[in-house]
Amino acid sequence: MKPRVAVFKFASCDGCQLQFLNAEDELLKLAAQVDFVYFPEARSRALEGPYDIAFVEGSITTPDDARRIIKVREESRYLVTIGACATAGGIQALRNWADIEQYRRVVYPSPEFISTLSTSTPISEHVRVDFELWGCPVDKQQLLAVVRSRLSKAQPAVPGHSVCLECKRRGNVCVVVTRGEPCLGPVTRTGCGALCPAFNRGCYGCFGPADDQNMESFARLLVSQGVQGDDAVRRLRGINGYVRPWRETADAIAAGKK
């Protein structure tokens, strides 16, 4: 029997699960190897668990979703978070530094109809996660590699080094050195192919923190580039802003310690 795969969505933009559908060359081959038994965006019939692999997109932002993720975990043998929202809380985690009542009032004339939590949190704050795949969006090839690993009962592995290594390998001109452009590349996990520097701009941290990051040194680099205070805080509080090392550094800068 083919492994039973489920794709769940929480607070998110759909972009990570879209990567399955963007696998134009691989989709039909993939469907021959696994059975997408639960994938509401792509299939009307939803089959019950248990699921062999569950891909979870999105962060937890409502009381209902906080309950739903527990049920998803119970039904799933192997749970993979896909993307910045599920893995770090996403861009919507900017609410974690704000007054949610005010947020509600800005968007909705009748805020009392809106059920939401005051925080956006990653899946790992709620249930055990077997593998976290970073990226905003996740890289299609990395996503397919996770499926392949599980088909051969192996633990998936993706590189954890910084964007800088990939950037050099790609032959990009360093935007920090040559243009003084602020760039999160030194502290960001590789996976995008050093895209932003290849497009003449600094990395903005889509793939989250690299394994070998040095935040203290990075904070000094920002200061030396004239990026301080609110400007530095904004750069760290972005797509993956709620992930611990970046959160702590930004909070320290905001408190005036760095």
Partner 1 sequence: MPSRRAKSRKIQVNFLTRVEGETALRIRIRDGELIELRLEIFEPPRFFESFLRGRDSREAPDLTARICGICPVAYQMSTVHAFERLYDIPIDPAVRELRRLYLCGEWIESHALHIHMLAAPDFLGCDSIIALADKNREAVERGLRIKKVGNAIVTALGGRSVHPVGACIGGFTRIPRREQLATLREQLLHVRDDAIECVRWVSHFDLPAVTRDIEFVSLRHPDEYPMNDGRIASSKNIDAAPDDFDDFFEEHQVPYSNALHCRITGRGPYFLGPLARVNLNFDQLGPDVMSVARETGIPWPSSNPYTSIVARALEVLYAIGEAVRVIDAYQPPPVPATPYEVRAGIGRAITEAPRGSLYHAFETDDRGLIHSARIVPPTSQNQARIEADLRELVPDIIRRSDIEATRMCEMAIRNYDPCISCSTHFLKLEVERG
**Phi–psi pair at 54, nearest 5 degrees:** -115, 125
* Residues from 163 through 192 that contact partner 1 (CB under 8 A): 192
Peptide bond into 186 cis (omega under 30): no
- Of 18, 91, 83, residue with least CA distance to 61: 91
* Residues from 59 through 88 that contact partner 1 (CB under 8 A): 61-62, 64-65
**220 lies in the binding site for partner 1 (CB under 8 A):** no
**107 lies in the binding site for partner 1 (CB under 8 A):** yes
Q: Is 206 exposed, middle or buried (0-12, 13-18, 19+ CB in 10 A)?
A: buried
* Residues from 116 through 145 that contact partner 1 (CB under 8 A): 116, 120, 136-137
How many residues line the site for partner 1 (CB under 8 A)?
65
**227 lies in the binding site for partner 1 (CB under 8 A):** no
Give the helix/strand (H/E) hosting 84: helix 83-88
**157 lies in the binding site for partner 1 (CB under 8 A):** no
**Which one of the spans 17-25, 71-79, 155-163, 246-254 is the region binding partner 1 (CB under 8 A)?**
17-25
CA distances from 89 to 93, 159, 160 (A): 5, 21, 19
- Of 197, 188, 195, residue with least CA distance to 215: 188
Q: Which CB, 78 or 207, lies closer to partner 1? A: 207
**109 lies in the binding site for partner 1 (CB under 8 A):** yes
Shortest reach from residue 124's CB to partner 1, in Å: 18
Report the alpha-carbon distance of residue 117 to residue 96 in Å, rounded. 10
Sheet containing 35-38: order of strands: 35-38, 4-9, 51-57, 76-82, 131-133
Q: Which of 33, 155, 200, 228 binds partner 1 (CB under 8 A)?
A: 200
Q: Which CB, 34 or 165, lies closer to partner 1? A: 34
SS3 117: coil
**45 lies in the binding site for partner 1 (CB under 8 A):** yes
Report the alpha-carbon distance of residue 183 to residue 195 in Å, rounded. 12
Q: Which CB, 119 or 216, lies closer to partner 1? A: 119
**52 lies in the binding site for partner 1 (CB under 8 A):** no
SS3 78: strand
Could you list the residues that contact partner 1 (CB under 8 A)? Answer: 9-19, 21-22, 24-25, 27-28, 31, 36, 39-46, 61-62, 64-65, 90-92, 94-95, 98, 102-104, 106-110, 113-114, 116, 120, 136-137, 192-193, 195-196, 198-201, 204, 206, 231, 234, 238-239
